[in-house]
Amino acid sequence: MNNGFLPLCKQDMIDRGWDQVDFVYVIGDAYVDHPSFGHAIISRVLEAHGFRVGIISQPDWRKKESVAVYGEPRLGFLVSAGNMDSMVNHYSVSKKKRRQDAYTPGGEMGKRPDYAAVVYGNLIRQTYKHTPIILGGIEASLRRLAHYDYWSDKLKRSILLDSGADIISYGMGERSIVEIAEALDSGIAVEDLTYLDGTVVKTKSLDSVYDVLVLPSFEELKKDRKVYAKSFYTQYQNTDPFTGKRLAEPYGDHLYVVQNPPSRPLSQTEMDDIYALPYMRTYHPSYKADGVPAIAEIKFSLISCRGCFGGCNFCALTFHQGRIIQTRSHESLLEEARLLTKEADFKGYIHDVGGPTANFRHPSCKKQLEHGVCKEKQCLYPRPCKNLDADHRDYVELLRKLRKIPKVKKVFIRSGIRFDYLLADQKQTFLKELCEYHVSGQLKVAPEHVADEVLSKMGKPANRVYEEFTRQFQAMNKKLGREQYLVPYLMSSHPGSDMKAAVQLAEYCRDLGYMPEQVQDFYPTPSTISTCMYYTGLDPRTMEKVYVPRNPHEKALQRALIQYRNPDNYDLVMEALKKAGRMDLVGFGEKCLIRPRRFTSEAKKKGPKQTGTNVGPKTSRKKTIRSLQKKKSGKS
């Protein structure tokens, strides 16, 4: 029966009056027809161009028949591991199995394999020997050339070769997937599709590949990490759709993986058209009993932009969405907001209006849509570029319009505010409106660290910039008569962070009075500058050596320092302070992190308030943040 969703089984296809689908879309997630899910956008875009798409969600990868639900598609198979890399989805940074998969009905784990795109691709190839297979999604996009794989701790070759697929549609994919579909529909063989922007292909010869930059071979990359660092940075410098070169990575004497330049950014009209497609905006009704947890985070949120010129080195957005900002119009976003207000469970709150970074609503400078981004320079690091167009007027106007929609009580911003960009805007209009209308007690921000030598490896601004933002945020709230606080996201064990830097971060938490309930260890995911540093011990931008905390015990020490107030971390904190030569932080003084062992042993018998921590375990996190931030800002 046609219920508005695309077919999820053969009977759905028959009910639509189809005898065959053009594309079978195999996905590692549950089928959620919402524009926050990549498979929903790609399938609806293809539908809008006249192609028939059938979905196979989370097939049993142990059975060939699980990918034969519709029979052989007319044009090919599309394969995506899902909205997340399957390995990140399955494992924590300590390589322990996660307990929940938010993209699976009921949050159940085990419904997709490790390295899902590779497994699905090979399963299809074993079943259909000659049918084209097109990989897409973030897992394929970030593994499109040779890459370091943290979970196996080795360099892996392009996912195109290991998956048995014919072509990768990398990045966001709307342009390239339509061009692939139309080319296949016209009768062009998949092996002849070597020229499309936004794709990665394989070829036996470079004779017909023009204007190509040949990278070191995979064998060379495996032998020398310095060679890999240089090759990776070459890739990084060619992620711009206007200036990016065609890259070829050799595998042996007669095989090349060729990355074509990225697809051009979407215009605002194209963005509007994509988000206006007839999404059902929820999960498939077959999941009604268990639901899909991931929908809760995005159901009442608005995606206003794509891309990010922030340039954080631990983030893969440069490789996936690119640095050029693409936006939707106010009219498009207002129309979607009105749709939200009609949902039965809408309570009056829009949870977010943003994207990778909320307060980016236009390209960072005027030249980018004609000439692309700078190869050798970042827009915000180490300081804002003199050509930066730091202007929040469009975003402020959008937020004001959203607040006026009937039934909307509050519009929150949760995507994350790039505070150095905010400070670069000399007008404080956005900061005022942010504090007055779009924060509910606490604003989460991401300084990530406080040691400047670590921040430089992260591609983040110096700590003084965050301190200035903190000052201005507090001053604005005081002016407005609001009691609101910053909750910083912090990261341990990033390349460049030695024990001295980790102690510095612990001292910052002490002075702030904030013990994070969760600390994010640096997670080396494919295709980031930080992951390249982790693997090679070199900063690919400068080729200088970088200290890398790789040992699990050292990483545990750095993490424990940030959470030094937790009595369970006492031994680790003591060991870390000894290693750092900072035993001055063990004692009874106001600046000490922990007390000597004898005292803490006796204190445990007397009750939790004598453990030697500055804040007793029964003190609420919210109260702690408020009281100590007041103290830091000079309030009584």
Binding-site residues, in ranges, read 308, 312, 315
Degrees to nearest 5, angle at CA 373 with 369 and 376: 165
Tokens of 446: 């991401």
- Find residue 203's DSSP bridge partners: 256
Q: How far is CA 313 from the centre of its chain?
A: 12
Q: How far is it, in rounded angstroms, from Cα 36 to Cα 443?
A: 23
Q: What DSSP character marks residue 292?
A: -
Q: 358, 484, 473, 475: which is closest to 421 by C-alpha?
A: 358
| Alpha helix segments (H runs only) across 21-115 | 38-48, 86-90
DSSP, collapsed to helix, strand or coil, labels residue 55 as strand
As a three-state string, the secondary structure of 485-524 is: EEEEEEEECCCCCCHHHHHHHHHHHHHHCCCCCCCEECCC
Which residues are documented as binding site for [4Fe-4S] cluster?
308, 312, 315
Q: How far is it, in rounded angstroms, from Cα 228 to Cα 154?
A: 12
Backbone angles phi, psi at 122, to 5 degrees: -70, -35
Q: How far is it, in rounded angstroms, from Cα 370 to Cα 568?
A: 56
First to last CA, the chain: 66
540, amino acid identity: P
184 CB neighbour count, 10 Å cutoff: 21
Per DSSP, the residues of 318-337 read: HHHT-SS-EE--HHHHHHHH
Measured N-to-C along each axis, helices 499-512 and 621-632 cross at an angle, to the nearest 10 degrees, of: 90
Tokens of 552: 């699990």
Q: How far is it, in rounded angstroms, from Cα 583 to Cα 573?
A: 10
Q: What size, in residues, is the chain?
A: 636
For CA atoms 50, 56, 62, 65, the dihedral sign is negative
For CA atoms 38, 41, 43, 46, the dihedral sign is negative
- Find residue 246's DSSP bridge partners: 212
Q: In Å, how far are 12, 34, 78, 138, 218 from 61, measured between CA atoms?
A: 22, 25, 15, 20, 29
